[in-house]
Amino acid sequence: MEPLLELVAQVWRTDPDLRLGQLLVNAARLGGWSNDFDIFSAEDDAIEKGLRNILKRQADAARSL
């Protein structure tokens, strides 16, 4: 649980204006979860994958500046 929560915190620090629900839905979607209305059933690994994708996109965007 701690590594996943730290990942959430790391992503949230990069965009603190997001609400937690927004962050989790975005992460689930980017992790391959296709049902935005059923985030309750999203697997932790899909959310983790999505959080890592968010961080990668942010890093890629920063490099392209």
pTM: 0.88
As a whole number of angstroms, the distance between CA 25 and CA 9 comes to 15
Q: Token pair for residue 17?
A: 């204006």
What's the pLDDT at 38? 79
Q: How many structural domains comprise the chain?
A: 1
Range of the domain at 30: 2-63
What's the pLDDT at 36? 62
As a whole number of angstroms, the distance between CA 65 and CA 55 comes to 16
In tens, the pLDDT along 11-55 reads 999 999 999 999 999 999 999 988 766 788 889 999 999 999 999
